[in-house]
Amino acid sequence: MNLRQIIPLLAGLFLANILDAAEPAPTLFKWADATRLGCPFSKDPSVIRFAGRYLMYFSLPPFGKELTQTNAPKGWNIGIAESTNLVVWKKVGELRPAQDCDKNGLCAPGARVLNGKVHLFYQTYGNFPKDAICHAVSADGINFQRDESNPVFHPTGDWNNGRAIDAEVFPDGNRLLLYFATRDSTGKTQEIGVASALLNSDFSRKTWTQLCDRPILKPELPWETKCIEAPTVTKRGDEFVMFYAGGFNNDPQQIGVATSKDGLHWTRQSNVPLLPNGAAGEWNSSESGHPGFFADENGRSYLFFQGNNDHGKTWLLSCVELDWRGSTPQIRIQPHQK
């Protein structure tokens, strides 16, 4: 083979590598619980590593008529699944209504390990403008003690309608930041706010201080439509990074990224989603939504999310691995999984 023959071959291999690297990264798994509806249906993932395994907290729908149990709980509940490898998941528990405030349902969990215990922040459901954030603590990640002061937080001010959902907590110095989604005063637009409590407090109702008198992030881009929700936060160096869901469910909902120096004032990294919904026929063509960031002990990081291709008749949970360039995340390409 002469040089004229080798050069085109090498160029072709080089181009093939570029095209291969530009392909969307495969998800690490697709999983959902089917005990409530008889079909896969789980939403709102939040993942931690605790006591030698991974735990994923997620929203469970109300029981379907054919699967309703005796004394079945009303409304949405929270499921718990465990894994040893972030790929194979098994449901191991549930949080059902236990207080007057969550008698109509509870969902959208946000988990964080603090001082050797699992702290779970979640929302009540079914009370719309009166839905608020609750708190529970567990020594084993499965059995939780509810805060007697629940709900512990809802926003005030004429910029919102009083509702708080999609809780996410992040420790920063001597305080715990609580990010939440709310609606504007008309109840039509979903937006993000933030509060804080001292990190050494018990996170009961009296400990929280609202840090904003306006939304810290609200929909502005066409793909965000009238909704920004499900904030999930990490920190890279001295910069906060927030993954958020833009668009209501199946709008389609897609995932964007914003950064902040102080955790209060945010700037979008891009005008397009980091993780868009899939193309027609793909498993997530109706949406890629409600992100949950997870940083493992080995330094690797993942973005969990929900998706479906049937406009919400089913819901699957999945995740992608992330790479970083400073505070800018990228979805990792993993050729060995293609």
Spell out the SS3 assignment of 51-106: CCEEEEEEEECCCCHHHCCCCCCCCCEEEEEEECCCCCCEEEEEECCCCHHHCCCE
- Asked, for residue 5, whether it belongs to a domain, the answer is no
pLDDT in tens, 44-76: 999 999 999 999 999 999 999 999 988 899 899
Q: Is residue 200 part of a domain?
A: yes
Contacts for 62 with CB less than 8 Å, ≥ 6 apart: 36, 74, 75, 76, 105
Specify the residue for token string 């050797």: 116
Q: 181: Cβ–Cβ under 8 A, 6 or more apart, which residues?
A: 164, 165, 166, 190, 191, 192, 193, 228, 229, 230, 231
Residue 254 in contact with residue 247, Cβ under 8 Å? yes
Token pair of 111 as six digits: 């988990």
What is the number of alpha carbons within 13 Å of residue 292 lying toward its C-beta? 26
CATH number of the domain residue 41 falls in: 2.115.10.20
Domain assignment present for residue 240? The answer is: yes
CA 164 to centroid of chain Cα atoms:
15
Residue 138 lies in a domain: yes
Residue 13 included in any domain: no
| Residue 326: inside a domain | yes
Distance from the Cα of residue 66 to its chain's centroid: 30
pLDDT of residue 333: 77
Q: In the chain, how many domains are there?
A: 1
Total length of the chain: 338
> Which is nearest to 136 in space by CA: 81, 188, 93, 98?
98
Is residue 18 helix, strand or coil?
helix
The reported pLDDT for the residue numbered 74 is 87
**Whole-number CA gyration radius for the chain:** 21
Low-confidence ranges of the chain (pLDDT < 50): 1-22, 24-25, 336-338
Q: What is the DSSP code (8-state) at residue 280?
A: T
Instruction: Return the closest-CA partner of residue 215 out of 237, 184, 188, 244.
Output: 184
- Contact predicate 283/309, CB 8 Å: yes
pTM for the model: 0.92
| Residue 134 in domain | yes
What is the spatial distance between Cα 105 and Cα 117, in angstroms, rounded to a whole number?
A: 24
Q: In terms of residue numbers, what domain contains 134? A: 27-337
> pLDDT at position 334, please?
59
Instruction: Tell me if 303 is assigned to some domain.
Output: yes
